[in-house]
Structure 1
Amino acid sequence: MLSLPRSRSLLAAAAIVATVATAGSLTYSLGLGLTPCELCWYQRILMYPLVAVLAYAYYTADTGIYRLVLPFCVGGAALAAYQSYLQVVAGGTCTFGGCAAVYIRPVTIPNQSLIAFCLIGLCTLGLAVRTRRDRT
């Protein structure tokens, strides 16, 4: 039998991370006036829907949602890792706009995005393992 409290905890954690990441990106652009570069926009496109999807999954206890969430996390993490790589190679600048040069202590914005996508991915991967284990 599926352990709903633990599965729901993973869903809640992933939803909270997605919400904080979304609120953070909006704060950077709307509150601090930082213009997102092209890669940041793509990462936002992959992050923003996760708030609603994970909140819905938490509310309905839908443990199969990992099938939808994991591809978003892989794509977002790949973009964020590429942008972080550009930051290191280009000496702290981003060829797509400049947001990678902005340090919000102690890490840059692309690094924060990478951390968020990885945390959400780990939560949903844990959910996938738990769901598959409970089926057998």
Structure 2
Amino acid sequence: MSLIVALPKNIRWTALFVAWLIALTSTLGALFLGEVMGLTPCVLCWYQRIAMFPLVVILGMGLLSTDFRSARYGIVLALAGWVVALFHCLLYWGVVPKSLVPCGQGASCTDGPLTLAGLLSIPLLSLMAFTLILISLFVVNKGARNE
């Protein structure tokens, strides 16, 4: 007898939709910063984009076909992006020494005033987005062991 109870399909679909919506918003935000505002992304930002952009397609396909297995693939990408975003935040806050920074050439997020409303830095926004996506995808996967 399993203690894990599968969540109803509508709750799992809603959680998948929330994850997709966050990924879409993050992708559009990153494109806006780069293409409209002209901010060149640093190396760590590029790594986070590499993890975030495919989530829109993968999770979107899962929504259209009501295939909750897409969450399993999304978790891998979101977890990779979360690790890079955490490292980026630690760098931004000065916890990680600059000698470990892969942003040796080009733009650096530690140099410019990259904050939203003076409170949230771009690396922190990325970390929050990946965290919310991971939570949503874990909800989708909850009790889905037989699919």
- Matched residues, number: 131
TM-score where L is the length of structure 1: 0.88
Please tell me whether residue 40 in structure 1 is matched to residue 52 in structure 2.
Answer: no
Residues 80-132 of structure 1, C-alpha deviation per residue, up to 9 Å, x if partnerless? 100100011179x9x52322441122211111111111111111011111423
**Where do 5+ consecutive residues of structure 2 fail to align?**
1-5
**Where do 5+ consecutive residues of structure 1 fail to align?**
none
Aligned pairs (5 A) from 1:43-82 = 43-82=48-87
C-alpha contact 2:16 2:71 (8 A) present in aligned 1: no
> Which has a greater percent of helix?
1
Structure-2 separation of matches of 1:24 and 1:130: 33
**Over aligned residue pairs, what C-alpha RMSD do you find?**
2.0
Please tell me whether residue 112 in structure 1 is matched to residue 125 in structure 2.
Answer: yes
In structure 2, relative to structure 1, the CA distance for the partners of 1:38 and 1:6 (3 Å cut) is same
Percent of matched pairs sharing the same residue: 30
Shift >3 Å, 4+ stretches = none
C-alpha contact 1:7 1:130 (8 A) present in aligned 2: no
